[in-house]
Structure 1
Amino acid sequence: MHSLIPLLRPDRRQPLHLPVHGRGRALPPALKRLLRQAPGSWDLPELPEIGGPLESEGAVAESQTQLASVLGVAGCWFGVNGATGLLQAALSALAGPGQAVLLPRNAHRSLIAACVMGGIRPVFLPVPFLSDRGHPGAMSEPCLEQALMALPSIPEAIVAAVLVHPTYHGYASDPTPLIAALHRCGLPVLVDEAHGTHFAFSGGEDLPRSSLHAGADLVVHSLHKSAPGLGQTAVLWLQGMRVSSEAVQASLLRFQTSSPSALLLASCEATLHWMLTSSWERLLQRRLQEAHQIAARLRAAGLPLGSSDDPLRLILVTAEQGMSGLDADAWFMQRGLIAELPEPLCLTFCLGLASQRGLAQRMQQLWRKLQLSQPCSGRLEPLLVPPLETSSTPELLPALAVRAQACELSLQDSGGRIAAEMICPYPPGIPLLIPGERIESDRLEWLLSQHRRWPALVPGKVKVLAEEPQVQLG
């Protein structure tokens, strides 16, 4: 039996994973000073002078107000349940039972859970799929426009839309025309920018535009996935007049803990304030330059790197050398290099915000050894493109599907049935199947191909409704 505490001690392996502070090396200076104090001295309740994210007085409220003013937005709320909790609260502020929201097909599982909890109908928008890498790309303006013209007929009113910018792998397109198109439809826009917080605090650096600067109504930033805060910290921003602050506040009250960690709140404040300083700009500039240099050296050495719009994401397309990213990940980890996201066709490293000096040479050496240990037998076949190229919605509301009587079948025998649970590899947490969707033959073939390539994370069994419901979409 493993004990957790020994596993939290200093580790000599090289962390190329989240959180991006690199095991503390890139934490904000103010937070480093706090953590040097007597252990536990920072573990405090919502004392009057501290307050909390939903209190009108105290240091937290003052900090949130100041940050909103500096960024020129209407509201700012710290979160201590990660981007997950803030995404769920934000979606709940936009829609409720008897209403529908537009979600990109690569929406995080937390948003599907919010639909289940809120009785909301998700209407999925297709996103490009990169079959040679086996994962989704970024939503494009033509893709969105085409999807909006072919929305399915449903009984509920569509009241809001969600975008993901950037993807887990750092793929991004300019969110400005996407947000504008949704606004023309009369929809407020929530953007999951968990992996792009640094876009909003990049100064003049060569990074994609932040949705916060592109007119999104609500934006959720993780403060550990793409900013140097502690794990589980995040922030929610509100701007414009399409969503009321009162609605957001009421939703946060339903979803957020009544006992927020003072340490995590301090991490939120320290991280965001530091990212507004010139020292942060200099740090980010160094890390981006280093990332470009590492990628250039690896490509010159023949490593099969895929492109990303975020230089801090390094995508090794192992399929080009006939290797699974899952196998490559296990091999690298045994030799002290810990990646962020293994997949059947590639392996993604997060360079993070700590210095990765010597990484290019180390990766070249390890890659050569890996090639020698597993000689290439030809490129792996690309994954099938999912049959999700048009807008769609579940036949049954997810909230009803998860509560209906269900039985478990082998995936092979589930064809034609309605799913009662989610199939969702984690990471990246992007659902392949959600409750209420019918498993048609083309969908079944695709899920089986995922299971064959990813058996540990895509199960061979699935819960389906025991009885066929009376389904009417309108």
Structure 2
Amino acid sequence: MSDFKNLYEKLIEYSGTPAYPFHMPGHKRRMMFMENPYRFDLTEIDGFDNLHEAEGILKEEQERAARLYGSEETHFVVNGSTGGILSAIGGVLQRGDRVLVARNCHTSVYHGLELNGLRPVYLWPEPDGKTGIYRGLTREQVEEALGKYSDIRAVIFTSPTYEGLLSDVRGICESAHQRGIPCIVDGAHGAHFPWAGLPDAVACGADVVVQSLHKTLPALTQTALIHLNGSLVNRERIRKMLSVYQTSSPSYVLMASISQCMTWLEREGAGQFERYERQARELRKRLANMKQLYLYKPEEDFDWGKLVICTRNVPGRAVYDQLREDFGLQMEMTSAKYVLAMTTVGDSPEGFERLAEALEAIDLDLQRAEAAAERREVMNPQAVRESAIAPEGHAVPEVPSMPVRCMEIDRAVIQPMEEVPLDKADGRVMGDYLYLYPPGIPMLVPGEVIQMKHIERIKDYLSQGLEVHGGYSKESGNVKVILHHG
């Protein structure tokens, strides 16, 4: 008898466990607003409109979403923010255009650059010195770049980031608009901002904003919105691209989920977010007493619902694994120095309590381990001498330097390629993307040179159990590089 369980069976089995989701989607498997989806999984029959030429119920639904977000024009997206970002880039820019891009953008932005043959000028946001978390872009950074390059045709950046940090969207848009340049904002993690009291990119003047409903609101995975504003972008062209990058048979189950989410926001959003914010801030206050762990809190505005749990003397992976294995708490992601717990309006008081108790228990264990280590050092003079010269905790991350670019992305991806061992890749030109997933921000893109510092960083990530994706093969340990480059 085979022990094989299909995907559906495994999902049912997992859903019956006490595992609690501090990860996407935002409904947390609790806020269920729909009946059996098979009952209304249909196609574009009479009376139910066509998403790509909406003139009936779907047109009305999208207009309702625009009113809720204060946008001039809003469209449903049923293959996540990725589809919206690709549509925005393809609709706003023309092949060969130069574009200003924040280097910490998601891979979907780079795919948009690749598919449209664009010529990026990268801006690298400043990283936090202890954690390596990228801060937001400033108006000054963007103005300086726009002053150097008179042929920039658009600015593309992320706000909020995966960890919840914000760029100066209003200032950046004002600066770009003075030059007649539109701004595309990947706001995938910010669909809840208007109800969370945070500066929403639509309200701050961005021309195109893409938001994932499923990340932070009670909607099914793959649901998103794209908002269009102002006269600097070709809206007709963006609408065309939405039909290119989305299926011609959009799921009515997903669109119904968007509709139900909009209804919930209209009827209950304000009160539910008030409750959620109170619980989240109480949790932050309670966890402020931890000694070996701490919650990252930037000086500037940030999404208070993103709990970035930083570690002082242990790898983030160790805390991530312990939360899952010992406490049944599944986090969103882990990095070398922190673990990300995504809280949303869908979280329960019991979930918050479980997380607080787990982190307090882990923190206490780490305090005890540190005290025991100190006692051993006192008994071992040699250990004391070594600890005096050894760095404490994690090394401070270096400020990243821009990789050497030998070839544009669209040209690099069509070159003949080969795989070589990671250790022997120094000086070779990448034929694919290299990134940690999550969050999916490339360390290197096709056409850039892999250097020893990149190799060492990748090896360090792998040693900590982090997932390197793209042009790296976990099975062989090889990376994909361009065969010949002279």
Global fold match (TM > 0.5): yes
> In the alignment, which residue of structure 1 is the partner of 2:24?
18
| Greater radius of gyration (CA) | 2
Among 308, 325, 330, the alignment partner of 2:321 is: 330
> In the alignment, which residue of structure 2 is the partner of 1:178?
172
* Counterpart code for 2:200: S
> In the alignment, which residue of structure 1 is the partner of 2:376?
none
* Counterpart code for 1:399: D
CA contact (8 A) 1:387 1:442 kept: no
Among 249, 266, 272, the alignment partner of 1:259 is: 249
TM-score normalised by L of structure 2: 0.85
- 2-structure distance, mates of 1:48, 1:275: 28
> In the alignment, which residue of structure 1 is the partner of 2:385?
none
> In the alignment, which residue of structure 1 is the partner of 2:276?
287
| SS in structure 2 at match of 1:136 | coil
Q: After superposition, what is the alpha-carbon deviation per residue over 1:315-370, rounded to whole angstroms, capped at 9, x for unaligned? A: 1112x1x2111121111111201111111111010111122332354224431465
* Counterpart code for 1:343: S
Is 1:401 paired with 2:412? Answer: yes
Cα 1:144/1:253, change in 2 over 3 Å: same
- 1-structure distance, mates of 2:105, 2:323: 29
| SS in structure 2 at match of 1:18 | coil
> In the alignment, which residue of structure 2 is the partner of 1:5?
8
> In the alignment, which residue of structure 1 is the partner of 2:64?
66
Report % sequence identity: 29
> 1:54 deviation in Å?
1.4
> In the alignment, which residue of structure 1 is the partner of 2:186?
192
Question: RCO greater where, 1 or 2, for CA within 8 Å and sep 6 or more?
Answer: 1
Is 1:363 paired with 2:363? Answer: no
Q: After superposition, what is the alpha-carbon deviation per residue over 1:265-291, rounded to whole angstroms, capped at 9, x for unaligned? A: 0111221232233x2111011111111
- 1-structure distance, mates of 2:249, 2:7: 24
What are the ranges of 5 or more consecutive residues in structure 1 without an aligned counterpart?
Answer: 470-474
Higher mean C-alpha deviation, range 360-369 or range 243-252: 360-369
Q: How many residues align?
A: 447
> 1:245 deviation in Å?
2.1
Cα 1:2/1:424, change in 2 over 3 Å: farther
Is 1:429 paired with 2:440? Answer: yes
> In the alignment, which residue of structure 2 is the partner of 1:108?
106
CA contact (8 A) 1:408 1:464 kept: yes
> In the alignment, which residue of structure 1 is the partner of 2:235?
245
> 1:238 deviation in Å?
0.5
Among 398, 401, 406, the alignment partner of 1:384 is: 398
| SS in structure 1 at match of 2:51 | coil
> 1:142 deviation in Å?
2.8
Cα 1:462/1:312, change in 2 over 3 Å: same
Cα 1:73/1:104, change in 2 over 3 Å: same
What are the ranges of 5 or more consecutive residues in structure 2 without an aligned counterpart?
Answer: 374-391
> In the alignment, which residue of structure 2 is the partner of 1:472?
none
- 1-structure distance, mates of 2:444, 2:290: 39
Higher mean C-alpha deviation, range 460-469 or range 120-129: 460-469
1:96-135 paired onto structure 2 within 5 Å: 96-135=94-133
Cα 1:91/1:393, change in 2 over 3 Å: farther
> In the alignment, which residue of structure 2 is the partner of 1:220?
210
> 1:72 deviation in Å?
4.2
* Counterpart code for 1:193: G
Structure with greater helix percent: 2
> In the alignment, which residue of structure 2 is the partner of 1:414?
425
